[in-house]
Chain A
Amino acid sequence: MSEKRIGMIEKSNNKRQRVTQDRPEFSINDHHDVLVEILRRLDGPSLCSAACVCRLWSAVARNDSIWEELCFQQVSPRPSLSLRSVVSALGGYRCLYFLCIRPVLARLPKLLWTRDQLQLSLSLYCVHYYERLYVGAWIGDAPPSSLMFLRKPVNVV
């Protein structure tokens, strides 16, 4: 967080004195909504790094709208609002991103990120939610997870 302050200060280097004297100190941590707006514009890896900065930022980063923005960054037109209710019912955008979208993106060329990939990710996510309803009913202790194929490293034969 001090980085931002330093950044602001470094930019107006020659006006350094004036900054500290004339303006009250601005701490981003006091303005969560501004922080959210900033985080919304980040890409995946940067957002994850930002979430590791401190506890406050980590808590703020759990705001699902940030992740929603991330999921739909390159998709246009924007999907309908009903999608939001569906996704939050299934576990939220953050989980969707980590479980489905990020692995899918990693395995497909970036150029192809369209609604189709989104639709596929949503379907897989939905199946995942459904399977979690079955915890404890299977041979072995681990609940079934059809998304394991996305998580495990794959042997390229």
Chain B
Amino acid sequence: MKRDLHQYQGRLPNHGTSSSSSLPVSKDKMMMVKEEEDGGNMDELLAVLGYKVRSSEMAEVALKLEQLETMMGNVQEDGLSQLATDTVHYNPSELYSWLDNMLTELNPPPGAAASNVCLDPILTSPEIVNNNNNSFLTAAGGDSSRIIPASDYDLKVIPGNAIYQQRSQFAIDSSSSSSNNNQNKRLKSCSSPDSMVTSTSTATQIGGVIGTTVMTTTTTTKAAPATAESTRSVILVDSQDNGVRLVHALMACAEAVQQNNLTIAEALVKQIGCLAVSQAGAMRKVATYFAEALARRIYRLSPPQNQIDHSLSDTLQMHFYETCPYLKFAHFTANQAILEAFQGKKRVHVIDFSMNQGLQWPALMQALALREGGPPIFRLTGIGPPAPDNSDQLHEVGCKLAQLAEAIHVEFEYRGFVANSLADLDASMLELRPSEIESVAVNSVFELHKLLGRPGGIEKVLGVVKQIKPVIFTVVEQESNHNGPVFLDRFTESLHYYSTLFDSLEGVPSSQDKVMSEVYLGKQICNLVACEGPDRVERHETLSQWGSRFGSSGFVPAHLGSNAFKQASMLLSVFNSGQGYRVEENNGCLMLGWHTRPLITTSAWKLSAAH
């Protein structure tokens, strides 16, 4: 009877005749269960009782029974708890092998390290599931009192057709490179396990370690049809430490990728996937997205091009707008700056580099409608990428804005431009009127960083902006450096940044909006980690970097007034009672952050007097 590769070890239905062909592949030494060969010579008396023992092995069986008895007597308090919670996983009628298994289970030989591959919920790589039910590694150097009972730390078998087949075992283990991997390194546990922010200190300390230990066990199911789940106890120390371990694994994997050590990276990425599942909340989501992005990078699966997905990303951005205050903050503060710059002007023109659905402009139009002296004539030029189905989305947005403008009695003019990249723009296309008649403002929300991928892109755009001669140039960007030359630095920075972002989302009640917002952020993560070259568009930079760039192009900062600050603070105190969000002022720019970490920055610029 031929056995296929996914067969588990240990408990085979005993047919007596067995061609022990095609045994599962194993990498390192492991305790092989002794297969039943052409079994004959069963002891008849025991067979009557239901035990199958070969007569030749009777003495050994007796010895082992004695050993087992003494061992069970000696094991400390919690040591046997896993036995209590097991489903039947060994066939005790196969007495010899059963005893073997029990003995090794309770008393693992030192240095038994099987490097099995864990089933990754993210990657559906069809690798062989390696079975080894003998590599029980205890935590903290063999101290069996560290074995924690099953309840909270079970790693259940991941259901699903692609990666789990009925009787396969599921084993996770540390990487094989370290020989002392049954020693659990004592890791400093975080104070807030659900937030990855506080674990940064430990992560940076132990950044280079590969293969910090993960203690798990194998699971076996004896062909349990309905539930297909097993509840093998997992010998983990603590979920807090698990979180730290997760961060370390992420950093180690990134480092492996950096050093082009793809085999180790591959093993680690799978480990991350398993660890991530054991976490909860923000940490789990962030880890999952980062693991997926790393996997894409390792296996060179390129994510779909940004351009194709633009309508989807518009929708996702809408949901992000609704779930959390970042975009609202951006819009309201930029609008305030534009409003103040347009004071007293009769004809105004706004050029928007980030048109999307035009959510920024209703509020500005309303403010213009109600300003003293009456509304000006408002002209809007929206620039956006081409829509995948050739529908004129910019035009539709313009129609809706026109509807609104008519309702609130503001004279409105609209023009939409489709451009693949902002660098394709030219000032002459925009039909600008002389500046005595019309005042122009340029607005860009989360768009400028996409130009940094092409050489000369940002310089061209800044040149175009200078040609436009705006009274104000409002820029909103993420406050983090994700554009460094070294991959590992980018990875670390973005890990902290997105962890903070996801933490801030945790307070939002679950809804479809929230899920969509997380997908929106996940796409950014994917692009940041998995892509390179011109494909990598999420090249965020900090305010100081942008500041020096604008400064060298001839712009000077225009301070956002206290009105903007007040409005922003109010907005945030209405949102979630302001818990956690902070508005800070930094050299005339406003930063919105979560607790101590600034996340996005609104800044305003005008041309210096020389230009």
Contacts and interface: CB of A to CB of B under 8 A. Distances in A.
Given A130-B400, A157-B579, A148 B322 contact: yes
B407 A89 contact: yes
Contacts of B573: 107-108
Contact of B408 (A90, A123, A146): A90
Interface string A85-107: 11001100000000000011001
A157 B370 contact: no
Interface string A74-87: 00000110110110
A119 B575 contact: no
A104 B362 CA distance: 19
Interface in B366-417: 366-367, 369-370, 372, 374, 400-401, 403-404, 407-409
A140 B335 CA distance: 30
Interface residues of B, number: 48
A154 B576 CA distance: 6
Contacts of B513: 148
Given A86-B408, A107-B577, A157-B580, A122 B403 contact: no
Contact of B322 (A85, A133, A146): A146
Interface string B555-595: 00000000100110011011111011000000000000000
Which residue among B407, B509, B566 has the maximum number of chain A CB atoms within 10 Å of its CB? B407
A85 B409 contact: yes
Contacts of B497: none
Contacts of A122: 366, 370
B516 interface: yes
Contacts of A156: 507, 576-577, 579
A149 B509 CA distance: 10
A156 B315 CA distance: 27
B362 A127 contact: yes
Nearest to B316: A139
A126 B315 contact: no
Contact of B570 (A116, A129, A139, A155): A116
Contacts of A134: 357, 400
Contact of A123 (B367, B400, B512): B367
B370 A82 contact: yes
Contacts of B546: none
Contact of A155 (B335, B400, B507): B507
A130 B325 CA distance: 18
A138 interface: yes
B224 interface: no
Contact of A83 (B370, B374, B407): B370
Nearest to A106: B574
B359 interface: yes
Interface string A135-157: 00011100011101110111111
Nearest to B374: A82
B322 A127 contact: no
Contacts of A90: 366, 407-408
Given A130-B404, A153-B509, A123 B366 contact: yes
A120 interface: yes
A117 interface: yes
A107 to B, nearest CB: 5
Which residue among A83, A108, A140, A149 has the maximum number of chain B CB atoms within 10 Å of its CB? A149
A63 to B, nearest CB: 21
B363 A127 contact: yes
Contacts of B512: 139-140
A145 B509 contact: no
Given A82-B370, A108-B574, A145 B407 contact: no
A145 to B, nearest CB: 7
Nearest to A127: B362
B507 A126 contact: no
Interface string A11-38: 0000000000000000000000000000
Contact of A86 (B363, B370, B372): B370
Interface in B499-534: 506-509, 512-513, 516
B318 interface: yes
A86 B318 contact: no
A107 B328 contact: no
Nearest to B406: A89
B574 A130 contact: no
Nearest to B506: A157
Contact of B363 (A83, A126, A138, A153): A126
Contacts of B516: 139
B376 to A, nearest CB: 14
B567 A146 contact: no
Given A148-B513, A157-B506, A86 B366 contact: yes
A24 to B, nearest CB: 47
Contacts of A152: 509
- The 10 A-B residue pairs with the shortest CB-CB distance, nearest first, are A123-B363, A89-B407, A126-B366, A130-B362, A157-B507, A126-B362, A133-B400, A86-B408, A107-B574, A146-B322
13 contacts: A86-B369, A107-B577, A116-B566, A122-B366, A123-B335, A126-B365, A126-B408, A130-B358, A130-B362, A130-B400, A144-B322, A149-B575, A157-B579
Given A146-B328, A146-B359, 17 more contacts: A83-B370, A103-B574, A116-B566, A116-B570, A120-B570, A123-B366, A123-B367, A126-B366, A127-B359, A127-B362, A129-B362, A130-B404, A149-B323, A154-B576, A155-B509, A156-B576, A156-B577
Interface of A: 79-80, 82-83, 85-86, 89-90, 103-104, 107-108, 116-117, 119-120, 122-124, 126-127, 129-131, 133-134, 138-140, 144-146, 148-150, 152-157
